[in-house]
Amino acid sequence: MNTAISSNWPAPAKLNLFLHITGQRADGYHELQTLFQFIDHCDYLDFQPTNNKQISLHSELSKVVAEKDNLILKAAKSLQEYSDYQGGAEIWLRKNLPMGGGLGGGSSDAATTLVALNKLWKLNLSADKLAQIGLQLGADVPVFINGFAAFAEGVGEQLINVKPAELYYLVIVPKVHVSTQAIFQDPNLPRNTPKLDINSLMQQNWSNDCQKLVTLKHPQVANALGWLVEYAPSRMTGTGACVFGEFKQQQTALDALAQLPSTMNGFVAKGLNQSPLMTRLSQN
């Protein structure tokens, strides 16, 4: 007999408050130094454990993303295989985060799937073990499992929890899909930013090494950044396309949002140093 549905598991977006590319390894992966912070803008997932091994996903996304590429299904099946769990799950996704926007939506969905099913299937795997499984799905997955704002090195998997200011952000979502793979393969991407210690990095002006290349390739991103920087210190997150401006007061961010041209989409969100997923995990 199927158990009850466990609902409203958040999969929050993240911002890269800075992103430096410090080198490229022999295997092609890039060495990074970056600072992740969550925002209170989330996808939401519901889960219903089942007695058979079938794992099913119900969402508009499942119509546009092939099953073999769907990170939610990949995450559930990876956890099932690792633990040799004999049951399965029905999963429902309510998608609010843009795809290909640099907000980490797919990785966050995968992390929430691992964390939720670990609890609902009563597997009792550690967060470190879940992060190891998640890293096989994507370099950003461990930070979402970790659940705290973090300074990251390596390919993004070496994490140190930090507490940057929890500001308000106006996030603009340009109508363009930026391929992370294409950006990291581009010969014009800077790959030699000097490595700095965490204290130096936390105190300097923050920047994103991918921003110049992406704005040259995608005028929509350049236009969004050009508009936003008039209102607040602004930059791109991840490999784009989303850009964000920093505001100390929510109302100032909302006032800027009200001026947003009708050709652009955006939202205001609050920075969070603890993921809403951690809060949900502590509940039944």
Residue 186: is its pLDDT beyond 70? yes
pLDDT value at residue 109: 97
Residue 79: is its pLDDT beyond 60? yes
Q: Where is average pLDDT lowest: 1-10, 69-78, 124-133, 203-212? A: 1-10
Q: What are phi and psi of 34, to 5 degrees?
A: -150, 160
Yes or no: say if 124 and 118 are a contact pair by the CB < 8 Å rule.
yes
Handedness of CA 33, 38, 39, 44 (dihedral sign): positive
Q: What is the mean pLDDT of residues 13-18?
A: 98
Lookup result for tokens 């119900």: 58
pLDDT value at residue 1: 45
Handedness of CA 174, 94, 150, 249 (dihedral sign): positive
Q: Where is average pLDDT lowest: 35-44, 65-74, 233-242? A: 65-74
More reliable by pLDDT, 64 or 55: 55
Q: Is 272 helix (H, G, I), strand (E, B) or coil?
A: strand
Q: What is the mean pLDDT of residues 89-93?
A: 96
Q: What is the mean pLDDT of residues 118-139?
A: 96
User: How many separate helices (H) and strands (E) can be counted in the chain?
Assistant: 11, 10
Residue 128: is its pLDDT beyond 60? yes
Where exactly does CATH 3.30.70.890 map onto the chain?
168-272
Give 156's pLDDT tier (boundaries 50, 70, 90): confident
CATH architecture entry for 6-163:
2-Layer Sandwich (3.30)
27 is catalytic: no
DSSP category for residue 268:
E
Whole-number average pLDDT of the chain: 94
Marked catalytic residue, from 14, 43, 74, 209: 14
> For the whole model, what pTM was predicted?
0.94
Q: What is the mean pLDDT of residues 89-116?
A: 94
Where exactly does CATH 3.30.230.10 map onto the chain?
6-163
Q: Where is average pLDDT lowest: 63-72, 190-199, 202-211, 251-260? A: 63-72
Marked catalytic residue, from 68, 140, 197, 270: 140
Query: 168-272: what fold?
Result: Alpha-Beta Plaits (3.30.70)
140 is catalytic: yes
